[in-house]
Chain A
Amino acid sequence: MKVSAASSGGMMLGFSWLASCNPTEEQALSMPESWFDINAFIKIGENGLVTIFSPNPEIGQNIKTSMPMVVAEELDVAWKNVIVEQAALDTQKYERQIAGGSQSIRRGWQGLRMAGATARHMLMEAAAQEWKVNVSSLSTNKGIIKHDESNRTMSYGQMAATASTLKIPEKVELKDPKDFKIIGQPTKNVDGEKITTGAPLFGLDFKREGMKIAMIEHSPAFGMKLKGFNEEVIKSMPGISDVLVINTAPKEAAWSNVNAFTEVIAIVGNTTWQVMKAKKALIVEWEWDSPAENSQDHELKLEQSLQTGVNEWARKDGNPEQTFKNATQVIEKTFSAPFLAHNTMEPMNFFAEVSKEKAELIGPIQTPESTGKSISNLLDIPIENITVMLTRMGGGFGRRLYGNFGLEAATIAYNTGKPIKLIYTRQDDMTQGVYRPAYKVKYRAALDEKNKLVGFSIHGTGIHESPVYENRFPAGAVPNYLAEKMSIDSNISTGAWRAPRSNFIAGAEQSFLDEVAEAAGKDPIDFRLELFDHAIKNPIGTDNDYDPQRYAGVLKLVRDKSNWGVKTEGVYRGVSAYFCHNTYVAQVLDMVLINGKHKIKKVWCAIDCGIVINPEGAINQAEGGIIDGIGHAMYSNLTFDKGSPIQKNFDTYSMIRHHQAPSEIEVFFVDNGIDPTGLGEPTLPPISGALANAIYQASGQRLYKQPFIQQDIKLG
């Protein structure tokens, strides 16, 4: 349908009826009849409705909302006229489709902006051609292109078809951050409606006609392998179609090499309950192929490693040995933490439909590219014939970086020739490894006669890795400094767990500094600020990986917001600050005692993550990190007996519960216009320090060992 739309120029324009009648910025749009691909991130309907593809895996960090917000900002459309779709794995179209290290926003920032800005430019270019005017004489606002001189307007939808045929410009201008209209606005989760109505969203919810359910049985202990089992009995059980042994030891190791149980029994059947019943009926013979470990041995090994372990790497500034000899006061403390399970609320699962030539994978994975590659190598299927679709994930926390369950699903589907959805039971999930390593670290601090921190040393070990970051604070702020790393081997597998290493070392360091500040007779915030001042004016070494100005900035912000220094009767306060994943965080935790039991009344949290894309999601992440951090430091524990995890489900493995969460959390952001950094992890690490320091104020007792709940704390 052709309609004359130009009011002044009298020009005839071809455009859809749907988009006619003077397009306005405030119009809410319905579904279009056709879509035009502008680039990998954007397609636009003929009526101006926009679909933005969110490239990275969504694990609850809310990038499915915030990444498209960045694209929409530069594209200059009304957010209400944006539909968000999760992109599948596509290495041609997207870079770094990984959820890890709190890097999606930081690493995605420029590319997302460019995607929006180039598309906007192409739409304007199309309009310029249509109107035969210079593109520089055009402006845009919320999906409407305007030629000011002639007062003509056109919607993006009208130009989408033409724009989709234009060459992508090499250079475009990005917005000045002060002109942002979407970035900085509190914006609701794009999946909120589906989440609250129970619509299928997660990997576990995926279903395809003819699909079977698969489960695995791995060995009950680390160090054991399969010898034999009652295969015929299981095969004859109702609803069971296939029983097999699979081996998924990957030929290519990235993100797949931490699976301790590569050989497992797989059971395939019609319904989940039938397969679960068959799994329960298994009688399996296992045999040892490496020694059984237990928690007492781990404790001894960690202690020995600290005493006599081989130093893997050290940073040394000045003369720490002499400084400790000459010190007026030396404070030495050792901190430790146990293994932890990830416990994403959605257990591991994956859908696979695989033939000899091709594989289709659908499910929750933080590293889809590596999963595709590993499956290609394992099953000898060309990588170009493997597709990986991403579902929303019921939590990641690092567990879904390791795609062994994807390999298992693909192998089961390959061997049975059936489309299957592999489901782990909670017990499979919790007893399967990839745990947060167990850590132990010894700190020493030397104070001179003026109570100045003149020497600092840190020796850290763990199974399988040291938690020490040698170039982090207080490196650079102390003239004599020593950092040493040790590690211990084990047949228990460990991996990245929300804020790897930082999740333990931050709290240990911040508890220790609290104790050192007290020994020096100084307020804990003043004491830290003195150190930052040293690092600002006279930094030691050149490899320090933090900006002391920004670090001090969040500490001052939380000090001011929490009225630090003003004592309230019955309120016990602890402070902590940490820098990791490129983001600075400082926290004050207020604890009260109710009938001799502690209650966290309030947490004050100051954050410097640069530009905040979505304050609603950012505050939610901060709150979550704080609660998650308190929970794991206070309650969670995974221990071993004869190579087997003692805690196998939530009846024995403690997770923080509603009543244990802080009553209130208030979050403050530093407004500095710096390019954004991530928020999925940084608020978790320091909070265990603030918690321990508040408990000390309430009880006079320092806490050196996690979980804190198992220490005999006498409050009040």
Chain B
Amino acid sequence: MAEFNLKINGTITKIDADPDTPILWVLRDHLDLVGTKYGCGIAQCGACTVHLNGSAIRSCSVAISTVGDQAITTIEGVSKSISTLENIVKEAWLTHDVAQCGYCQSGQIMNATALLKSNPSPSDKEIDRAMTGNICRCGTYTRIKTAIKTAAAQLT
């Protein structure tokens, strides 16, 4: 066990855990931030997507010892954000009633938010490329794309 001071959703939080613990399990087990989901554990499904200094990463495969002072943002942080972009994305998800089972959607939203931050008007191809790492077994892909486009239209 070791002590880490992680910046999570804008707050410095002291964590006592093994250095190789993935961010995912620190969020879920230590901090009760369960919006970030476990799907595969090997960075192949995108359910655990969070932002590290604004970039989308797979939290199941990044150990807390490598985080340092980089800022971690989770779906809980994003949904409480007063920033326009985050709210626009969430509202677009609700407007298009994207979710079916809903399990993968926080990862999808986190990835889409990171995409729109770096590219506020992505083409279909750019959306495909950015989102291809996020699996949805329910098959909500067309709705996700529509929601991203709706959000993009409001951003530009």
- Which residues 117-156 of B sit at the A interface, judged by CB distance below 8 A? 124, 127-129, 131-145
Whether a CB of chain B sits under 8 angstroms from the CB of A73 is no
Q: A276–B28 Cα gap in the complex (Å)?
A: 14
Q: Which 6 A-B pairs give the minimum distances between C-beta atoms?
A: A198-B35, A394-B103, A60-B101, A627-B139, A198-B75, A659-B128
Q: B93 CB to closest chain A CB, in angstroms?
A: 5
Q: A616–B20 Cα gap in the complex (Å)?
A: 44
Chain A residues closer than 8 Å to B75, beta-carbon distance: 196-198
Q: Binary interface profile of B, 26-53, with partner A (CB < 8 Å = 1, else 0)? A: 0011101111111111101101000000
Residue of A nearest to B128 (CB): A659
Residue of B nearest to A347 (CB): B38
Chain A residues closer than 8 Å to B94, beta-carbon distance: 188, 192-193, 196
* With A188-B94, A661-B139 already in contact, 7 other A-B pairs whose C-beta atoms are closer than 8 Å: A189-B99, A196-B99, A197-B76, A197-B80, A198-B34, A426-B41, A663-B124
Chain A residues closer than 8 Å to B102, beta-carbon distance: 60, 189, 191, 195, 201, 392, 394
Q: A273 CB to closest chain B CB, in angstroms?
A: 4
B99 & A192 in contact (Cβ 8 Å cutoff) = yes
Whether a CB of chain B sits under 8 angstroms from the CB of A566 is no
B143 & A395 in contact (Cβ 8 Å cutoff) = no
A650 & B140 in contact (Cβ 8 Å cutoff) = no
Residue positions of B touching A, CB distance < 8 A: 1, 17-18, 20-22, 25, 28-30, 32-42, 44-45, 47, 74-76, 79-80, 90, 93-94, 97, 99-106, 109, 124, 127-129, 131-145
Whether a CB of chain B sits under 8 angstroms from the CB of A537 is no
Whether a CB of chain B sits under 8 angstroms from the CB of A535 is no
Known: A60-B138, A623-B142, A655-B137. A197 touches B90 (CB 8 A): yes
Chain B residues closer than 8 Å to A205, beta-carbon distance: 34
- Name 23 A/B residue pairs within 8 A (Cβ), A-sorted: A62-B100, A195-B99, A195-B102, A195-B106, A196-B93, A273-B17, A344-B101, A345-B47, A345-B136, A346-B39, A395-B101, A395-B137, A426-B45, A616-B97, A620-B100, A624-B140, A625-B139, A626-B139, A650-B45, A657-B133, A658-B134, A659-B129, A659-B132
B139 & A658 in contact (Cβ 8 Å cutoff) = no
Number of interface residues of A (CB under 8 A): 68
Chain A residues closer than 8 Å to B29, beta-carbon distance: 213, 271-273
Chain B residues closer than 8 Å to A628, beta-carbon distance: 137-139
Residue positions of A touching B, CB distance < 8 A: 59-62, 186, 188-189, 191-193, 195-202, 204-205, 207, 213, 238, 271-274, 276-277, 343-347, 392-397, 423, 425-427, 616-617, 620-621, 623-628, 631, 649-651, 655-659, 661-665
Chain A residues closer than 8 Å to B136, beta-carbon distance: 345
Q: A199–B106 Cα gap in the complex (Å)?
A: 10
Known: A205-B34, A658-B128, A658-B145. A393 touches B137 (CB 8 A): no
Q: B45 CB to closest chain A CB, in angstroms?
A: 5
Known: A394-B103, A649-B40. A343 touches B132 (CB 8 A): no
B42 & A59 in contact (Cβ 8 Å cutoff) = no
B139 & A624 in contact (Cβ 8 Å cutoff) = yes
Chain A residues closer than 8 Å to B38, beta-carbon distance: 204, 272, 347, 423
Q: Which of B37, B100, B129, B142 has most A Cβ within 10 Å?
A: B100
A650 & B76 in contact (Cβ 8 Å cutoff) = no
